Amino acid sequence: MKTMGLTSLYLVTPKQFPDAEADTRATGAVDLLQQATVVASLAEALHGVTHAVALSARRRDLGPELEAPRQAASRLLAEAAEGEVALVFGNESTGLSNEEIQLCRAAVTIPTNPDFSSLNLCAAVHVLCYECRMAAYTASEVNQAAKTLVTPFSSPAATHDEVEGLLGHMSEIMIKTGFLNPEQPGRLLPKLRRLFSRARLEKDEVNILRGIFAATQENTRHAK
Amino acid sequence: MKTMGLTSLYLVTPKQFPDAEADTRATGAVDLLQQATVVASLAEALHGVTHAVALSARRRDLGPELEAPRQAASRLLAEAAEGEVALVFGNESTGLSNEEIQLCRAAVTIPTNPDFSSLNLCAAVHVLCYECRMAAYTASEVNQAAKTLVTPFSSPAATHDEVEGLLGHMSEIMIKTGFLNPEQPGRLLPKLRRLFSRARLEKDEVNILRGIFAATQENTRHAK
């Protein structure tokens, strides 16, 4: 919850709370447990909530239609503009009852491997919190969030003429060594050109490659 | 992994394997542990792999660009049409080293709450496996988007070991010509590695580049 930016936790009739083992497992997120609200029923937890989404492994009798996590999360965020919203999870062993699911306006299921569908509660909570965070970012913001982590280090892009200079240098070497026959050049140069455009070469990289070739030529000359 | 339909697990120098506690924790997924391949290095795990994505909490020096999980997963699925692909995770405490990340062609980060970003390994693996499954489900739409990221190969993708072979060849030449001092290698090899990952080298291109270097060496020998 906390890694994905969610903070408001309601616990319905917990077996034991507070609990030393829970605190230990929460490591840096004990504050969420300390601020958690303990209630006597799901109905009490949902008091004042305008849109609640229940996790369910399958469609329930009389329950709401099942949505995929991505749709459920984006709808939850849209509804959050109108009022309080909630994600509702059952316990690890028995999940939510039909009655509990019917208290919710929507139900969400995580599409799993049909041969092994037993997602544990932690993984399910994590996927739904993650989808809420992703829904909160717009597509461009997700990339922006990834980019804020970027340490700039790359060298500027090589210019057209720098790349051509490299290709000229390589073709000179290829001809000199007999690797390329200028009478029948074939597809060697077009292939290298295509590789370098795809790679969007940087200035540094052009310099390194030319450096290697220059060193080889130097070596050849010395040998002669 | 198993709930999301992934089955192929490689373990790099596990502290202990097989391990009774791991078996207990895996409950219904012990088969994945039993079928796991234990290898001595990440390079060995990546042998034959054409596209590897490393999880990283931040951009690393000389590492590949960071992508968001959704983008990384759809690209991984598109690349899976070309050859074997891999998701690469470090251990819980220290993650991947810069050197390990540089062995991968792409890097992915999970945008978390900046005030509490310490996602545990289990949660991170789960999110990425989940995104792979989602990318596979929405294949028709996602493929369309992902295709724009993939340059169609005219020759098959070079495998990890083929690219390493090229780098080994270049480093041998650079040392022989004095361009690279093996005592103070600096950033030359990481920079070349980064360039070749970004370029997504094809088999043909590896052969052409190795051909040029081999011809140069041949020439040097003749000259002598």
Residue whose C-alpha is closest to residue A51's, from A74, A90, A82: A82
The answer to whether B127 and B110 are in contact (CB under 8 A) is: yes
Taking only the tens place, the pLDDT of each residue in B110-145 is: 999 988 887 889 999 999 999 999 988 865 554 444
Q: Are residues A107 and A136 in the same domain?
A: yes
> How close B198 comes to chain A (CA, Å)?
6
Is the pTM here over 0.80, yes or no?
no
- B60 pLDDT exceeds 80? no
Q: Are residues A26 and A108 in the same domain?
A: yes
**Is there a domain that residue A171 lies in?**
yes
Domains in chain B: how many in total?
2
**Is there a domain that residue A188 lies in?**
yes
Residue B93, both tokens: 């405490």
Residues 6+ apart with CB under 8 A from A72: A53, A106, A108, A128, A131
Query: How far, in Å, CA of B195 to CA of B63, rounded?
Result: 10
Q: In this structure, how many other beta carbons lie within 10 angstroms of the beta carbon of residue A159? A: 12
In sequence order, which ranges of chain B are alpha helices (DSSP H)?
20-26, 30-34, 42-45, 69-79, 98-102, 121-137, 139-147, 160-176, 188-199, 203-223
ipTM for this prediction: 0.72
Is A121 or A64 the better-scoring residue by pLDDT? A121
For the four alpha carbons of A176, A180, A184 and A186, in that order, the dihedral sign comes to negative
Residue whose C-alpha is closest to residue B145's, from B159, B134, B160: B134
- The CATH number given to whatever domain includes residue B92 is 3.40.1280.10
Of A117, A146, A195, the CB nearest to B68: A146
Q: Are residues B19 and B51 in the same domain?
A: yes
Q: For chain B, what's the residue count? A: 224
**Is there a domain that residue A49 lies in?**
yes
Percent above pLDDT 70 for chain A: 89
pLDDT band at A67 (very low <50, low <70, confident <90, very high): confident
Are A170 and B212 in contact (CB < 8 Å)?
Answer: yes
Q: How far is CA A69 from CA A53, A112, A130, in A?
A: 10, 12, 10
Query: What mean pLDDT is reported for chain A?
Result: 86
Torsion-angle region of A121 (φ positive above 0: left; ψ -120 to 50: alpha; else: beta): alpha
Of A178, A191, A216, the CB nearest to B205: A191
Q: How far is CA A37 from CA A20, A33, A49, A90, A114, in A?
A: 17, 9, 14, 16, 36
Residues 6+ apart with CB under 8 A from A26: A32, A33
- A169 pLDDT exceeds 90? yes
Write out the residue range of the structural domain in which residue A165 sits: 160-223
Q: Are residues A126 and A28 in the same domain?
A: yes
Q: Are residues B181 and B83 in the same domain?
A: no
Residue A93, both tokens: 């062993």
Interface of B with A in 182-221 (CB under 8 A): 188, 191-192, 195, 198-202, 204-205, 208, 211-213, 215-216, 218-220
Interface of A with B in 127-186 (CB under 8 A): 127, 130, 133-134, 137, 142-143, 145-147, 149-151, 153, 170, 173-174, 176-179
Q: Are residues B171 and B100 in the same domain?
A: no
Q: Which pLDDT does position A154 carry in this prediction?
A: 65
Query: What is the pLDDT averaged over residues B151-180?
Result: 86
Q: Are residues A122 and A186 in the same domain?
A: no
**Is there a domain that residue A5 lies in?**
no
Domain end point (choices B117, B147, B177): B147
Query: What is the pLDDT averaged over residues A17-24?
Result: 95
Q: What angle do CA A152, B161, A199 make, to 5 degrees?
A: 40
